[in-house]
Amino acid sequence: MDALMHQVFSGLASGCIYGSIALALVMIYQATHHINFAQGELATFSTFIAWALLQRGWPYWAAFIVTVAGSFVGGLAIQRLIVRPVERAPVLTNVIVFIGLLVIFNSLSGWLFDYTIKAFPSPFAQDSALATRFFSAHEVGSVLVMLCVLLVLWAFFRFTPIGLAMRAAAQNPESARLVGIRVSWMLAMGWGLASAIGAVAGMMIAPAVFLDPNMMTGILIYGFAAALLGGIDNPAGAVAGGFIVGVLENLLGAYVIGTELKLTAALLLIVATLTLWPNGLFGRNVVTRV
């Protein structure tokens, strides 16, 4: 029983990370109806920046904040310089651009920081008060950090004028322009936020899986599965999907299929979701009277 509980809780901890990556995907999907395949590599690159800062002796939380802020600006810049010129281009053009970004950032990480596997520190000491029977201190800490991120995001979208403008721009760009919202900049903000969330997720998962340029490849697949399962147009659903995928992955890995096939299970889940519940479990059907 203890072993089972441990698997469930550790699944919740990684599910939190998947949920955040899913949230970053949903954020860009809602605004543009494109899936950003480079989301994982961007997060890895951000994590490397944090690692480099820590190597230079920066205190952890200073490196954390600078990395998150830098990733926000970086995401904003990528949208302005690379994605915006193809904004009106067909879907396939966008997909190619995203895959290009994926390859570029993967190689950039390898080129700047080489391919050796690196240990990444956790800000939560193993013997701290956070550690409980079923959770390690880092697991509790990363869940708390991710929940804080979610809370801040929720408040941002719910209560600030710019959050409202971003939702409006995502939903009805033409109408948003007619009330004076600069829609293109709202998309750039979305990219910035998604990159910042990715950076937090990367720094939280790195202590568990170690840092290398391909760190996020598998996690992005879990993120996809989470986003689709929760409903690709529903931020809260994406987070819930993350928890479900995390727990499922851990239980299947421990008791049913073994660790080797965990990623395959995630891919199967993606296919099953798309065929059986294309809207996801919590996908919204907007009710409209005409």
Partner 1 sequence: MPSLLEARALTASYGATQVLHGVDFAIEPGRITALLGANGAGKTTTLRAICQMVRTGGALSFAGRPLTGLATEDIVRLGIAHVPETRGTFTALSVEENLRLGAYLRRDKAGVAQDIERAFTRFPRLRERRAQQAGTLSGGEQQMLAISRALMLRPKLLLLDEPSFGLAPLIVREIFEFMRRVNVDEGVSMLLVEQNATHALELADTVVLLETGRVVVAGRADDIRGDKALRRAYLGY
Q: Which residues bind partner 1 (CB under 8 A)?
A: 161, 164-165, 167-168, 171-172, 174-183, 284, 286-290
Question: How many helices (H) and strands (E) would you count in the chain?
Answer: 11, 0
Q: Backbone phi, then psi, for 211, in 5-degree steps?
A: -100, 125
Nearer to partner 1 among residue 128 and residue 175 (C-beta): 175
Nearer to partner 1 among residue 165 and residue 266 (C-beta): 165
Token pair in block for residue 213: 């340029």
Contacts of 253 (CB under 8 A, 6+ apart): 259, 261, 262, 265
The distance of closest approach from Cβ of residue 159 to partner 1 in the complex, given in angstroms and rounded to an integer, is: 11
The distance of closest approach from Cβ of residue 161 to partner 1 in the complex, given in angstroms and rounded to an integer, is: 7
The distance of closest approach from Cβ of residue 96 to partner 1 in the complex, given in angstroms and rounded to an integer, is: 25
Nearer to partner 1 among residue 93 and residue 171 (C-beta): 171
The distance of closest approach from Cβ of residue 217 to partner 1 in the complex, given in angstroms and rounded to an integer, is: 34
Running DSSP on this structure, what letter comes out for residue 280? -
The distance of closest approach from Cβ of residue 162 to partner 1 in the complex, given in angstroms and rounded to an integer, is: 10
Q: Backbone phi, then psi, for 180, in 5-degree steps?
A: 100, 5
Nearer to partner 1 among residue 1 and residue 178 (C-beta): 178
Token pair in block for residue 230: 């929760």
DSSP H helices, 79-212, are 91-113, 137-159, 161-171, 173-178, 183-209
The distance of closest approach from Cβ of residue 238 to partner 1 in the complex, given in angstroms and rounded to an integer, is: 16
The owner of tokens 């949903």 is 26
The total number of residues shown for the chain amounts to 290
Cβ count within 10 A of residue 103: 13
The owner of tokens 């997909």 is 95
Nearer to partner 1 among residue 15 and residue 231 (C-beta): 231
Nearer to partner 1 among residue 118 and residue 167 (C-beta): 167
Q: What angle do CA 147, 277, 236 make, to 5 degrees?
A: 15
